[in-house]
Structure 1
Amino acid sequence: MYLKDLIIGIVFLLQSTVGSLGNFSLLSCYLINYYIEHRMKTSSLILSNLFTANFLILLSKGLLHTVQTFGIKGFINDFVCKFLLYIQRLGRNVSISSTCFLSVFQAITISPRNSFWMSLKAKVPHHIGLFTSLCWILYMVLNMIFPVYMYNKENRKNLTQKHHLKYCSIVVHDDFISSLYTTIIVLPEILFAFIIIWSSSSMVIILYVHKQSVKHIHSITVSSRTSPESRATHRILALMFTFIGFYALSSILQGCIALVYNPSWWLVNITAIISMCFPSLGPFVMNHDSPFPRLCFI
């Protein structure tokens, strides 16, 4: 094994292990909290779906790339490879849509009484469970009916199509199926990204206006602590930039891989690492809403 393979393999292993433990721990906390209180807040429900999707991404993608980087043969056959790729895409789709749901829900929650979203405050919590369930079902079906983007055993002899993974070969697809897949899967992801930017920007503006309106109250109460509006703004911006930065960069790099005839070893592996960054860092960015500290004291 070359030194570069060893280094990349260790990075994949650490990234998938730390990220999986983080997502699984927070998901377990929400489930335990639901078992104790027999109810779950809307934001907790969305985060539970998000952590589940992130865990699936890290488990499937991390396992696939760790095994191939360390050169472990005979562990992943063609069926396992297809299944892991299916889980990986399903997790990515649900992760992006859940992040969008969370951002929009938070924007609706903190919107002022005279805003357009006021009428949705009472309706959204009752329908968010249905939206998340439909999201899982929709992407399960869509990723099943587009096997063209999965790896196929029949093309193992086609070495020009075998540069993505050592033990899987990519199926050759036509322009029509590629365009259809892009329209149904990729374009909604781009739309979700723009919605996240818009809703996050709206929340920052709302928090800034509220902070200015109560500025005289903060000036009377002398305190060295940061205002709640500033802390919330920092969390919103951290989540938005983490999501947009890593997902946008991974999408650009994946486009480069698709366009380049024979992508380099570094391009393929760096793209895989960056695509796993948000699922790995997501729990640590959003852990302020976790019931973990309270459950530990219980």
Structure 2
Amino acid sequence: MSSLSFISSLENILYFQAGLGILDNMFLLVVYIFIILGNKYKSIDLISCQLTFVHMMTFLAGENFWLADILESLRVENDFKCKATFYTKRVMRGLSICITCLLSVFQAVTICPSTSLLAKFKHKLKKYMISTLFYIWSFNLSVSSNLIFYVGAYTNVNETKQLKVTKSCSLFPMNYFIKGLILTVTTSRDVFLVAVMLTTSAYMVILLCRHQRQCKQLHSISHLRVSPEKRATQTILLLVVFFVVMYWVDFIISVTSDMLWMYDTVIRIVQKFVVNAYPTIAPFVQISSDRRIVNVVKKLQS
């Protein structure tokens, strides 16, 4: 198989993944909207709805998809198109890790026993949920604004000083101080949030194991039933673990590419596949674990 046909095959897989990701996130978003409008939603539904929207926008802002096509149809210059698509994708990436972390923290606080130190945050977390989401959006919209200045249309002028990342877009060199500052802020944010997710995940695993032992002492194993809280906790644990694994694979690829100032086509496709893996799989995990979604679908069919 030639290199061109191999790349073409990888791109077809990437398009299939993106199409699947758009469909399942769009379906889940519609379901969450029905649940929220029905006034029977939980606070965690607001977080999940936001996460689903972010994942859908991650795909729609991808190269050769919705956002790029709209800008192309409007005959917008490539420079603005590159800035808009790259900025949107970077913001969505930041929102994905922040909201996933919030989801993990919220569930850990929800299932904590009344004697725990986290118990006093239960009411506060629900009360300030909207404010928390607003600050998360504001922070990510501002911290990614540097791309407006350092991303643009690819040109042949001073070609060696540009890092070509798509057929028509490239990253331009930036001051070492600014580059170091941005890298420090984003890396610190990501490392901190991943650490929080791992900590809350470990805490939830401990609580689940403790609850499991207590149930075995009171009942026979055959009569044990999985409670909605336990099912939701297991779902979030699965999402967090999968996100962390995909995040570090993406982080290693990104750092290696930046350090070597290299952006090979195959590496770019593989990185996109890794980045899109979490938003593609997450909706299926959420749908399979939430019985309310099945009930909403039945109501829509009737």
Give yes or no for TM over 0.5.
yes
TM-score, normalisation: structure 1:
0.87
8 Å CA contact 2:105–2:197 kept in 1: the answer is yes
Q: Which position in structure 2 is the counterpart of 1:20?
A: 22
Q: Which position in structure 1 is the counterpart of 2:113?
A: 112
- Please identify, of 233-242 and 96-105, the stretch whose mean Cα deviation from structure 2 is larger: 233-242
Structure 2 residue ranges without an equivalent (≥5): 69-74
Deviation sequence 1:211-252 (CA, Å, 0-9, x none):
111212331x634x7755875664344212210111110011
Q: Which position in structure 1 is the counterpart of 2:294?
A: 293
CA distance in 1, matches of 2:45, 2:230: 22
CA distance in 1, matches of 2:98, 2:268: 25
CA distance in 2, matches of 1:6, 1:262: 20
Q: How does 1:193-272 map to 2 (within 5 A)?
A: 193-219=194-220, 222-223=222-223, 227-228=226-227, 234-272=234-272
2:10 to 4, 8, 11: 8
- Please identify, of 190-199 and 27-36, the stretch whose mean Cα deviation from structure 2 is larger: 27-36
Q: 1:255 to 1:218 in 2, by over 3 A?
A: same
- Please identify, of 233-242 and 255-264, the stretch whose mean Cα deviation from structure 2 is larger: 233-242
8 Å CA contact 2:163–2:263 kept in 1: the answer is no
Partner of 2:135, secondary structure, is: helix
CA distance in 1, matches of 2:205, 2:98: 21
Aligned residues: 289
> Cα distance, 1:157 vs. partner?
2.1
Q: 1:14 to 1:289 in 2, by over 3 A?
A: same
CA distance in 1, matches of 2:119, 2:136: 25
Which one-letter code corresponds to 2:282 in the other structure?
A: G
Partner of 1:152, secondary structure, is: strand
> Cα distance, 1:76 vs. partner?
7.8
CA distance in 2, matches of 1:279, 1:76: 29
TM-score, normalisation: structure 2:
0.86
8 Å CA contact 2:154–2:169 kept in 1: the answer is no
Structure 1 residue ranges without an equivalent (≥5): 68-73
> Cα distance, 1:284 vs. partner?
1.5
Partner of 1:176, secondary structure, is: helix
Which one-letter code corresponds to 1:251 in the other structure?
A: F
CA distance in 2, matches of 1:193, 1:76: 37
Query: How much is the aligned-residue C-alpha RMSD, in angstroms?
Result: 2.8
Which one-letter code corresponds to 2:266 in the other structure?
A: W
Are 1:279 and 2:276 matched, yes or no? no
8 Å CA contact 1:156–1:168 kept in 2: the answer is no
Which one-letter code corresponds to 1:116 in the other structure?
A: L
Q: Which position in structure 2 is the counterpart of 1:177?
A: 178
Which one-letter code corresponds to 1:112 in the other structure?
A: P
Deviation sequence 1:18-48 (CA, Å, 0-9, x none):
11111111111111122233x5321100011
